[in-house]
Amino acid sequence: RQKPMGGRIINNGSVSAYAPRPGSVPYTATKHAITGLTKTLALDGRPFDIACGQIDIGNALTEMAQPMTVGVPQANGSIAAEAVMDVQRVADAVLHMAS
């Protein structure tokens, strides 16, 4: 009996794993964990033809990111609005990675 092999795993990381903002300890810690998980799965999945990658997006316009369009604390102590991207662009990138 043949065992199924192969596939793609695409994790949703964040630029916050590399450039966190003030007051984001829980979020940043989980994104660091996702990065470690992705790297380990990429290594362990090789014998099974499973590719594992991660998309590290910035601010996609979701309910969680809505306040960023008005202004959020920055590392230098200032408050500034941040650019956001359309979630469809994120979905398109994930579909490309899966192909």
Catalytic residue list: 27, 31
Q: Where are the alpha helices (H) located in the chain, listed in sequence order?
A: 25-45, 87-98
Instruction: Encode 71-96: b = buried (16+ Cβ within 10 Å), e = exposed.
Output: ebeeeeeeeeeeeeeeeeebeeebee
The torsion angle over the Cα atoms of residues 56, 61, 67 and 72, rounded to 10 degrees, is 30
50 φ/ψ angles, rounded to the nearest 5 degrees: -110, 120
